[in-house]
Amino acid sequence: RFLDRNVVNAFVRAGLLYESCEKFKDREYHNAVFVGKDENGVPRHAHKRSLNSLGKTFRINVEGSDPRCSFHYTGTSNRLYVFEAPIDLMSFLSRYPRGWQEHSFVALCGTAEHAMLWMLERNPCLRTVCLCLDHDEAGIEASGRLAEILHEHGYDDVGMLQSEHKDWNEDLKARRGLPVQEAEEHPQLIAASEVCGRIGVYMEECVIPERVGRELTNALCGYEMNLRRDYPEGATTCIELASALALYTYGRGLRQLGEPHSSEELLEQLRSCIHPHQNRSSLNSRTAVLAEQAHAVLKLASKPGIRSEAEKRQLTEGWLELALSCAKISVKYEADVLKQQQKQEQAALQQEMG
């Protein structure tokens, strides 16, 4: 694994890492055991990982472990680094060893938030959190979800660090010139750029300001009709047009509030609001919610009389939320198609090789 000897020894001396030897059916199995202790120094968690680097790696949290007290180290600074696995944590320290004892580190031994929140509760000085999860689909979704949880708990200084390859140990292997598992970008993040690009084209070519309400209604009706006919390509075309209409109107609302944005800025704001962990439900399940959301925005827009500043802002934000809801539908569909294509390519490659 190319872990730095000094880093390994530090955890061994602290009683947080040891090697176990267990017999099963007349064979000996050696595991690295990563220990998590509570605030009194009592071991409460153990994560076993096989020392065998060939084939599928054995790893398990020992039964009865307290998930809050997984493998961790507490330093003196205000910074906490969060990882999926102990090997990831130690690989990161091996890659960036300078002064690491100053900071705090925790391995979730999965992607649940319990150990991270426990560390923060026990150490009020920790205010900056760096999420260092795997650079793959699951890690990206978990990072988004954990960041959301941290914001809900009042932590505003939250950042994300990504390994160049799939995880931090793969980065160590790459430095030695060994074959590595490459990073996997999230299909939704790939699709989001393409979808927002098309929405930008619709904003330039298809939006007629005085007909926004009518065209939006038609686009949403076209989306539902194509969805019922099982014509997803037609449905996504309609929903992207609906997003363009809503985003254009959002931009117009910002201008009225004295906050003008260019089309490029509006599209970037839209793209940056698309988070994969919030966009997992099926397309069919969104129809009723989307119709209700559109109805509420159009009703507010058609309300007679002079609007207050707060009402203008409420309506403007409503247009952005509607544009985002429409865009997320197309992003989810495009990402699902991309994942299916990737699976087919992998299956074809395996068939060729085998």
Mean per-residue pLDDT for 94-122?
96
Banded pLDDT at 349 (limits 50, 70, 90): confident
pLDDT tens, residue by residue, 115-134: 999 999 999 999 999 999 99
What's the confidence (pLDDT) of residue 100?
96
What's the confidence (pLDDT) of residue 51?
67
What's the confidence (pLDDT) of residue 165?
97
What's the confidence (pLDDT) of residue 25?
63
Q: Is the pLDDT of residue 281 over 60?
A: yes
Q: Is the pLDDT of residue 103 over 90?
A: yes
Element of type H or E holding 263:
helix 263-272
Strands 17-24 and 27-37, bridge-based pairing: antiparallel
Mean per-residue pLDDT for 98-123?
96
What residues contact residue 204 under an 8 Å CB cut-off, 6+ apart? 263
Closest by CA position to 189, among listed 19, 351, 29, 332: 332
Domain residue extents for the chain: 5-175, 187-338
Q: What is the token pair recorded at 133?
A: 């999860």
**Could you name the CATH architecture of 5-175?**
3-Layer(aba) Sandwich (3.40)
- Mean pLDDT for the chain overall: 91
Identify the weakest region by mean pLDDT among 59-63, 129-133, 183-187, 213-217. 59-63
Nearest-angstrom CA–CA distance, 183 and 136: 6
User: Three-state SS for 113?
Assistant: coil
pLDDT tens, residue by residue, 135-154: 999 999 999 999 999 999 99
What's the confidence (pLDDT) of residue 28?
67
Element of type H or E holding 308:
none
Nearest-angstrom CA–CA distance, 134 and 110: 11
Q: Is the pLDDT of residue 348 over 90?
A: no
What residues contact residue 195 under an 8 Å CB cut-off, 6+ apart? 240, 327, 330, 331, 334
**Range list of H helices, the chain:** 5-13, 86-95, 114-122, 137-152, 168-175, 187-205, 212-228, 232-256, 263-272, 287-301, 309-353
Residue 45 forms beta bridges with which residues? 36
Banded pLDDT at 26 (limits 50, 70, 90): low
* Helices and strands, counts by H and E, the chain: 11, 9
pLDDT tens, residue by residue, 328-339: 999 999 999 998
Would you give the DSSP letter of residue 46?
E
Residue 267: what residue type? L
Mean per-residue pLDDT for 281-285?
84
